[in-house]
Amino acid sequence: MSNIPTIESKYHLKSVHAEIDLYDRRLAHLYKYDVFETEAARAAAARKLTLKRDPLVATAKRLVAEGVEYKESELPRSFRPEGVPAPVEAKPEPAPAPAAAAAPHNPGENRSARRQGSPYAGTSLDWEKSVQHYMQNKAAKA
């Protein structure tokens, strides 16, 4: 083990839960899809993954017993009761966009001819002035 102390916090518990979930998925894949010459080879591979997963499970249970907070949605699949899907956290709905007063679309109209106001108008990022200046200079040279 390294001499670096671990920070026992909810963020550490979240990463431990994520690692346990990774090992759960790897074990499920091993049992369902991986091809082995013998069942003993499959069992050895599963035992190897389980030996890496077990200390993580012990750490997660210790942290939960110590009262470190966590979200139900972050629990590994193996920590949830059978048949219970992961809870989905409700995300705040974005505010509806204000209806822009746009001109109706005319298929014969060139897209570049349609004007839209720049949010950078009057700032140093206003590119429209430089384009107008370029077009005037181009017309004057011709």
Q: Profile the chain (142 residues) by mean pLDDT over runs of 10 residues.
A: 61 93 94 93 96 95 91 87 68 62 60 64 75 87 78
Specify the pLDDT at position 47: 97
pLDDT at 111: 60
Query: What is the C-alpha separation between 134 and 11, in angstroms, rounded?
Result: 54
What Cα–Cα distance (Å) separates residue 76 from each residue in 19, 23, 84, 93?
9, 10, 12, 27
Side-chain-side CA neighbours of residue 67 (13 Å): 0
d(CA 132, CA 18): 55
Q: Is the pTM of this model over 0.75?
A: no
pLDDT for 1: 46
Rounded-to-integer distance, Cα 113 and Cα 137, Å: 20
